[in-house]
Chain A
Amino acid sequence: MRNLIISAALLAMSGLALPTQSAHAGDVAAGKVKAYTCTGCHGIPGYNNVYPTYKVPKIGGQNYEYLTAALKAYRNGERHHSTMELQATSLTDEDIEDISAYFASLGNDN
């Protein structure tokens, strides 16, 4: 009975620990190289998108899973932005994972 309780507790703990694990498929070093194009807009502090005018979003330290979802949504036309849709069309799943891993790695607190 005691073993059962301990096992259940361990299972519960491992389940809780899962979402916080940052293991993902992306390669940060490869992503840094592939992300060079991105810095043309996302690497200029305060750079403005035009029509409508708003600042190009900061992505340094953004979450990996959010970044991969955003790039895939641009690639398959679910999310619209002319520049981003064109950029994303040429990306493979691996490119998206690597680029996302690189940007996610730039945060101080992620």
Chain B
Amino acid sequence: MKHRNQMTRIVCAALLAILPGTVLAKGDPATGKEKSAVCQACHGLDGKSIAPNYPNLAGQHESYLVKALADYRAGRRTNPIMAPMAANLSDQDIEDLAAWYAGQDGLKDLSIK
């Protein structure tokens, strides 16, 4: 019985180890650009927003964009505009959109000066 528990633990650990690599299919920027038509209405042609109340997305970290869209879709992050936009996105849509915006030139990393 003890041996079996140990095996279960090893199998679980192995599954957890491969999980981060398999959950996210790699985003395709070109496909993301095609899918971004509705986003452009507020976030601009290439992720530089048309008005200051909308965030710039150009150059944002890909993993943060994925997290933000997934949070909107799940209702963890609430916004009356973004909730319906994100509701029908697939995981692949989110990956593609994030890849597109992350690849644009825009937001800057801060540096401590």
Contacts and interface: CB of A to CB of B under 8 A. Distances in A.
B109 to A, nearest CB: 4
Contacts of B2: none
Interface of chain B, helix or strand or loop or mixed?
loop
Given A39-B110, A39-B112, A53-B20, A62 B56 contact: yes
Contact size class for B? 20 to 34
Contacts of B29: none
A54 B64 contact: yes
Given A52-B67, A80-B76, A109-B48, A43 B56 contact: no
> Which among A19, A38, A58, A69 has the greatest number of chain B C-beta atoms within 10 A?
A58
Given A39-B112, A78-B78, A107-B108, A57 B56 contact: no
Contact of A61 (B67, B108, B112): B108
